[in-house]
């Protein structure tokens, strides 16, 4: 009789644990819908709350990715830029030598299977300041994303971790990475940093899951020069992201949103700034960011933030609300930056205009820009402003928009390199 009672107690305990586990899994997979309005921003208290840290994920030392990446040993030139090109289940990482005006396929990426849904794979890339460390995020519909680290100068490729990775950036020295995760497991969702020197990496979560904004985790934007600060974007819904700045050594933070839409980050030191679509550090203490209004709201503007003095200065805001910024980039060695601007309405190919804008608010128009393909950056000495444009259905071109001259022609689908025919 005593033995039967023991077994009965065991069975009851197992049932309770199983039910709790099932409920937790369902709750994570089907989060509660909320009608959260576009939030306003409140000041963030420093050190007021210390939330319990979530368990550190333990990725497999040898994750089994759904893609293979083969790297060709290649020297990285001083004036370089990386592109990811391809469709279906085959992609290429292309290294542009802007000084020699050449392009080289530095890596090939092949998915294990062709996409089975209408949604296509997406690949994003982030490189260290010298181009020797490249972070490649491979996202496949209905499959976990894989984060690879590529080292072109040695021909190495290694998977770092897997999960629902929505974005990834690498530090200037190539030693540290940051990711935004959107896993069904709430203990994994959030903003993470980790060392690329660890095998396997042991990431530390900076900002925990935001349960009232399920499906939209914080995303990394840029590391400071020394890697000690991370600019990030906090989701605001359709209008985009709220920029913030956080030390990478911070204890785990969390987001709080009130019923009225007020938002704050609590648990440690953090600075919330203006809305931002992208950001870059332009000096050890200066952050530059820009934002663009959408049909759902937001504000088109640029701003600079001084980390040392904690002073934020709005640099530019159009006089009318029908102007969008497609891209912006700070000019090295100068107190000015470039913008590519376009009207909000109308047509599939709006007229894009390039501007040089100074910190003091003055501006000069460069001219009309071509069909913009998503890349805008300055040469290291600030004498050339590069823009990626489309040439035809087989080739692309990098143009110096200060002069309007083409710099490098590359093949979109392979073949060549030019002047040989592209495929």
Look at residues 355, 418, 356 and name the one whose alpha carbon lies nearest to residue 391.
418
CB 106 within 8 A of CB 95: yes
The pLDDT, as a whole number, for residue 27 is 33
The pLDDT, as a whole number, for residue 103 is 94
pTM for this predicted structure:
0.82
Q: What is the DSSP letter of 9?
A: H
Torsion of CA 41, 46, 50, 53, to 10 degrees: 70
The pLDDT, as a whole number, for residue 418 is 59
CB 231 within 8 A of CB 281: yes
Cα 269 to Cα 364: distance, rounded to the nearest angstrom: 39
* Cross-strand pairs, 291: 301
* Cross-strand pairs, 116: none
Question: What residue has token string 């953090």?
Answer: 270
What is the mean pLDDT of each successive set of 10 residues along the chain, which is 423 residues long?
A: 38 37 33 34 37 44 75 97 92 96 95 75 95 95 91 95 93 96 88 86 83 76 97 84 94 83 82 94 97 88 96 95 93 96 76 93 87 82 92 87 93 75 77
The pLDDT, as a whole number, for residue 250 is 92
CB 172 within 8 A of CB 154: no
Cα 343 to Cα 350: distance, rounded to the nearest angstrom: 7
CB 209 within 8 A of CB 221: no
The pLDDT, as a whole number, for residue 363 is 97
Cα 261 to Cα 192: distance, rounded to the nearest angstrom: 25
Look at residues 171, 173, 217 and name the one whose alpha carbon lies nearest to residue 194.
171
Cβ burial of 269 (10 Å; 0-12, 13-18, 19+) is middle
Q: What is the DSSP letter of 415?
A: B
CB 230 within 8 A of CB 194: no
CB 135 within 8 A of CB 124: no
């Amino acid at each position: 009789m005593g033995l039967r009672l023991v077994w009965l107690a065991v069975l009851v305990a197992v049932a309770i644990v199983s039910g709790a586990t099932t409920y937790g899994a369902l709750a994570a997979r089907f989060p509660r819908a909320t009608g959260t309005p576009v939030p306003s921003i409140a000041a963030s208290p420093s050190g007021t709350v210390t939330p319990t840290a979530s368990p550190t994920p333990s990725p497999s030392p040898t994750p089994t990715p759904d893609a293979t990446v083969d790297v060709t040993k290649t020297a990285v030139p001083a004036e370089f830029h990386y592109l990811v090109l391809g469709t279906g289940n085959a992609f290429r990482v292309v290294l542009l030598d802007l000084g020699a005006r050449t392009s080289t396929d530095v890596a090939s990426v092949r998915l294990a299977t062709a996409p089975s849904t209408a949604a296509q794979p997406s690949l994003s890339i982030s490189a260290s300041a010298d181009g020797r460390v490249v972070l490649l995020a491979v996202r496949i519909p209905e499959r976990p994303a894989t984060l690879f680290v590529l080292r072109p100068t040695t021909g190495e490729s290694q998977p770092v971790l897997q999960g629902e990775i929505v974005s990834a950036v690498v530090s200037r020295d190539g030693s540290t990475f940051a990711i935004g995760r959107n896993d069904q497991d709430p203990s994994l969702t959030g903003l993470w940093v980790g060392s690329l020197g660890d095998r396997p990496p042991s990431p530390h979560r900076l900002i925990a899951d935001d349960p009232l904004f399920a499906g939209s985790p914080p995303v990394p934007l840029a590391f400071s020069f020394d890697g000690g600060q991370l600019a990030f974007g906090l989701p605001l819904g359709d209008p985009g992201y709220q920029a913030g700045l956080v030390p990478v050594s911070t204890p785990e933070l969390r987001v709080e949103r009130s019923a009225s839409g007020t938002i704050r980050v609590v648990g440690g030191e953090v600075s919330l700034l203006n809305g931002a679509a992208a950001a870059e550090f332009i000096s050890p203490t200066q952050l530059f960011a820009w934002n663009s209004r959408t049909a759902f709201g937001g504000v088109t503007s640029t701003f600079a933030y001084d980390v040392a003095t904690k002073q934020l200065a709005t640099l530019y805001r159009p006089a009318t609300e029908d102007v969008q910024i497609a891209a912006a980039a700070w000019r090295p060695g100068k107190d000015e930056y470039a913008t590519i601007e376009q009207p909000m309405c109308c047509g599939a190919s709006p007229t894009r205009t390039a501007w040089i804008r100074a910190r003091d608010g003055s501006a000069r128009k460069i001219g009309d820009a071509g069909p913009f393909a998503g890349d805008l950056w300055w040469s290291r000495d600030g004498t050339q402003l590069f823009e990626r444009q489309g040439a035809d259905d087989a080739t692309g071109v990098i143009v110096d928009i200060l002069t309007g001259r083409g710099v490098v022609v590359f093949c979109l689908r392979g073949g060549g390199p030019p002047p040989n025919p592209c495929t």
